[in-house]
């Protein structure tokens, strides 16, 4: 398992770790090998992942509709749908489940101990209980770790450089995502070392986002947005609300990341 996230590395991982079960199991079943793709947000939002994913499969000889089938399912930022989708993919008897982000990986892990699971990225797979260790993940799961919590302090330092007079920081995260909880803790710790006041904005649903901004009302000068499918799906809304908050507070801005 690697600590660097990259689409090409992920595709290579899939080719090496998951291609052989596709061949063996599909031949036994007499059907096309089938990949279950569990997407955290929407087809359009994740097109930058799916397009190179399909392209790399083609380069490896796996042509969608001819030599391999792909069952796409989209949670649209609703983490409560992950378990439902994972169970559906298991019922479809897919040969491998491909996904990204901690909540979807955990849902897939709970749904099957047999079907191989490959994740494009997870913020801290050891800390959130996805795998036993980076060197020996064990079980039926493999993928790439972003180790994003390790770089939380550096991101806050960069934000401080952008806003030199920064004193009050708001941190928005989905507390339904175990990785986001770890990330928020790391960001708060980093903020304390830099003598910053940190205000946590806990989100669970899209409907929680506008009230969170209302609760700010001049209480923060910058916003750190955690990496989470729910927040990514709502990034336009978050940016719009942040711009509105900026009119009230000139130094208000955002720092966002990919999902973890």
Is pLDDT at 149 greater than 80 in this prediction? no
Compute how many other C-beta atoms are within 10 angstroms of the C-beta atom of residue 10: 23
From 31, 23, 101, select the one nearest 62 (Cα to Cα): 23
Q: Tell me the pLDDT band of 52, cut-offs 50, 70 and 90.
A: very high
In tens, the pLDDT along 119-138 reads 988 777 888 888 888 888 88
Of the candidates 109, 202, 190, which has an alpha carbon nearest to the alpha carbon of residue 153? 190
Domains, in order of start, for the chain: 7-146 (3.40.50.2300), 149-256 (3.40.50.2300)
pLDDT-derived band at 148, boundaries 50, 70, 90 = low
How confident is residue 93, by pLDDT bands cut at 50, 70 and 90? Answer: very high
* Model pLDDT, residue 145: 78
What local confidence, expressed as pLDDT, does residue 5 receive?
A: 36
Q: For 226-234, what is the mean pLDDT?
A: 84
| pLDDT at residue 114 greater than cutoff 90 | yes
* Each residue's pLDDT tens digit, 23-50: 455 545 568 999 999 998 889 888 888 9
Neighbours of 211 (CB within 10 A): 10
Please check the confidence at residue 3 and state whether its pLDDT lies above 50.
Answer: no
Up-side HSE of residue 230: CA atoms within 13 Å toward CB?
25
Of 202, 197, 102, 189, the C-alpha closest to 154 is 189
Q: What is the mean pLDDT of residues 80-105?
A: 94
Residue 226 above 60 pLDDT?
A: yes
The pLDDT value given to residue 120: 87
Residue with tokens 């390790």: 150
Q: Other CB atoms closer than 10 Å to residue 260's CB: what's the count?
A: 29
**Residue 20 confidence class, pLDDT cut points 50, 70, 90:** very low
For residue 249, what pLDDT is reported?
53
pLDDT over 70, % of the chain:
81
Supply the pLDDT for residue 247: 62
Q: What region does 65 belong to: left with phi over 0, alpha with psi -120 to 50, or beta?
A: left
pLDDT at 7: 42
């Amino acid at each position: 398992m690697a600590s660097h996230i990259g689409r090409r590395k992920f595709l290579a991982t899939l080719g090496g770790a998951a291609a052989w079960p596709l061949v063996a199991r599909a031949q036994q079943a007499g059907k096309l090998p089938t990949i279950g793709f569990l997407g955290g947000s929407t087809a359009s939002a994740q097109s930058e992942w799916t397009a190179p994913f399909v392209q790399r499969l083609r380069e490896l000889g796996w042509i969608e509709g001819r030599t391999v089938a792909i069952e796409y399912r989209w949670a649209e930022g609703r983490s409560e749908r992950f378990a439902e989708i994972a169970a559906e993919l298991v019922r479809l008897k897919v040969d491998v489940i491909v996904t990204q982000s901690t909540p979807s990986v955990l849902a897939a892990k709970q749904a099957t101990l047999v079907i191989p699971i490959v994740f494009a990225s997870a913020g801290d797979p050891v800390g959130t209980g996805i795998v036993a260790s980076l060197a020996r993940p064990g079980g039926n799961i493999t993928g790439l770790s972003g180790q994003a919590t390790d770089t939380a302090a550096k991101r806050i330092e960069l934000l401080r450089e952008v806003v030199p007079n920064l004193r009050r920081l708001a941190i928005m995260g989905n507390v339904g995502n175990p990785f986001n909880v770890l990330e928020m803790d790391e960001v708060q710790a980093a903020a304390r070392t830099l003598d910053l006041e940190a205000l946590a904005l806990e989100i669970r649903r899209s409907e929680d986002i506008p009230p969170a901004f209302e609760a700010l009302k001049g209480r923060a000068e910058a916003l750190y947005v955690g990496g989470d499918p729910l927040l990514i799906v709502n990034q336009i809304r978050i940016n719009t609300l942040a711009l509105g908050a900026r009119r009230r507070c000139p130094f208000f801005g955002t720092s966002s990341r990919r999902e973890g």
